[in-house]
Amino acid sequence: MSEMQSKNKSAKPAQQLIRLSEIRDGIVILNDGTLRATLMVSSVNFALKSEDEQNAIVYAYQDFLNALDFPIQITVSSRKMDITPYLQEVKELRDKQQNELLRLQMDEYINFIGELVKNADIMTKSFFITVPFSVQQNKREGIFSRFFKGAKGAAGKLHLNDVEFEHNRSQLMQRVEQVAVGLRGMGLRVVPLQTQELLELFYTLYNPSTARNQRLHNVAQLKVQETEPAG
């Protein structure tokens, strides 16, 4: 057996590498039943702040970390800026423009911006904080950790019923609020990602080339086709 064939045989399917089970009500559920909430956080230009402002931010960040009794994950996503939606809007405005001179100027603007982004490799950064919750990891939930065990289904995934999910989600949102309050104390803006935004985030992370050319459908607009039971 060649080395290439050996690698292909041992390669795992993508479904086994991605630990996501489902996304429900803005909450990511992993295969083991643990929950994750993701916050998008704004940035601050630390270098432009005065010395007193910098010290205040540093002290606020220290207080924020010291107040946490659970882990968080900080992620910085840096990727090439995609201005396709913006250029599409400008093109639609150009098509509606009656003044021929303005139409020509808008054409030049569209070409200029397109070439600028293509040649300059302008990057955009996004900042995320992921807040976890697991019954087994929460020391204050000893009773519930014995009661809310869930049931493992196919492929070893742990499925939560509605009661389990709502209880765990409530505990998770308390953590999310604590994190959000601490970040706002540093002058940062915080926005919890909802289901559609989470889907788009994972879609672009796992399919960067496809995401540039094919947009993800809005799940709220998808219709589930009902089938009549046989018999």
pLDDT digits over 205-223, tens only? 777 666 666 665 555 554 4
* Residue 155, pLDDT above cutoff 60: no
H/E stretch holding 205 reads helix 195-206
Residue range 85-135, pLDDT digits in tens:
788 889 999 998 888 899 999 999 999 988 887 777 777 788 999 999 986
Q: What is the pTM of this model?
A: 0.65
Residue range 1-17, pLDDT digits in tens:
455 455 555 555 555 66
User: Among the listed ranges 16-20, 69-73, 200-204, which one has the minimum average pLDDT value?
Assistant: 16-20
Residue 58 neighbours by CB distance under 10 Å: 12
Residue 81: which pLDDT band, with cuts at 50, 70 and 90?
confident
Q: What is the pLDDT of residue 170?
A: 92
* Residue 74, pLDDT above cutoff 80: yes
For 71-140, strand residue ranges (E) read 73-80, 123-133
Residue range 106-116, pLDDT digits in tens:
999 999 988 88
* Residue 182, pLDDT above cutoff 60: yes
Q: What is the pLDDT of residue 114?
A: 82
Q: What is the pLDDT of residue 221?
A: 52
Q: Give the torsion sign (CA, 145, 148, 151, 155).
A: negative
Q: What is the pLDDT of residue 178?
A: 94
Across 195-199, average pLDDT: 88
Burial of 155 (0-12, 13-18, 19+ CB in 10 A): exposed
Strand pairing class (27-30; 35-41): antiparallel
Residue ranges per structural domain of the chain: 18-78+126-205, 82-121
Distance (Å) of CA 52 to CA 12, 62, 186, 189: 52, 15, 13, 21
Residue 148: which pLDDT band, with cuts at 50, 70 and 90?
very low
